[in-house]
Amino acid sequence: MHYKRHNGGMGEFDLIARYFTRPVRRAVLGVGDDCALLQPRAGIQLAISSDMLVEGRHFFAGTDAYRLGHKALAVNLSDLAACGAQPVAFTLALALPRVDEPWLQAFSSGLLALADAHGCELIGGDTTQGPLNICITVFGEVPAGQALLRSGARAGDDLYVSGHLGDARLALECLLGHFALPPALLAPAQQRLEAPTPRVALGQALRSIASAALDVSDGLLGDLSHLLRASGVGACVDTSCTSALLATQVAAGQTGQPLETERVRQCTLAGGDDYELLFTAAPGQRHAVLAAAQASATAVTRIGTIEASPGLRLMDSQGQTITARYASFDHFA
Residue 311 near which of ligand ADP, Mg ion, none (CB within 5-8 Å, type-dependent): none
- The residue among 31 and 303 lying less far from ligand ADP, judged by its C-beta, is 31
Phi then psi for residue 95, to 5 deg, are -105, 125
158 marked among binding-site residues? no
- Residue nearest to ligand ADP as judged by C-beta position: 124
The residue among 45 and 91 lying less far from Mg ion, judged by its C-beta, is 91
Burial 60-88 (b: 16+ CB within 10 A, else e): eeebbbbbbbbbbbbbbbbbbbbbbbbbb
Question: Per-residue x/- mask for Mg ion, residues 110 to 139, rule CB under 5 A?
Answer: ----------------x-------------
Residues from 183 through 242 that contact Mg ion (CB under 5 A): none
Residue pair 238/115 in contact by the 8 Å Cβ criterion: no
* Residue placing its CB nearer to ligand ADP in the complex, 16 or 174: 16
> Residue 230, CB half-sphere, CA atoms under 13 Å: how many?
18
Can you tell me whether residue 315 is helix, strand or coil? strand
Cβ contact 132:95 at 8 Å? yes
Annotated ligand binding at 56? The verdict is no
Instruction: Determine if residue 215 is labeled as part of a ligand binding site.
Output: yes
CB of 135 to ligand ADP, least distance (A): 10
* Phi, psi dihedrals of residue 142, rounded to the nearest 5°: -145, 135
Q: What's the rounded Cα separation, in Å, for the pair 287 and 42?
A: 32
Please tell me the number of Cα atoms within 13 Å of 283 on its side-chain side: 6
Q: Which residues bind ligand ADP (CB under 6 A)?
A: 16, 20, 31-34, 92, 94, 122, 124-127
Report the residue number, 101 or 126, with the smaller CB distance to ligand ADP: 126
Q: Which residues are annotated as a binding site?
A: 34, 49-51, 58, 79, 125-126, 150, 215, 217-218, 273, 329
Q: Given the rule CB under 5 A, which residues bind Mg ion? A: 126
- For the annotated binding site for substrate, the residues are 58, 273, 329
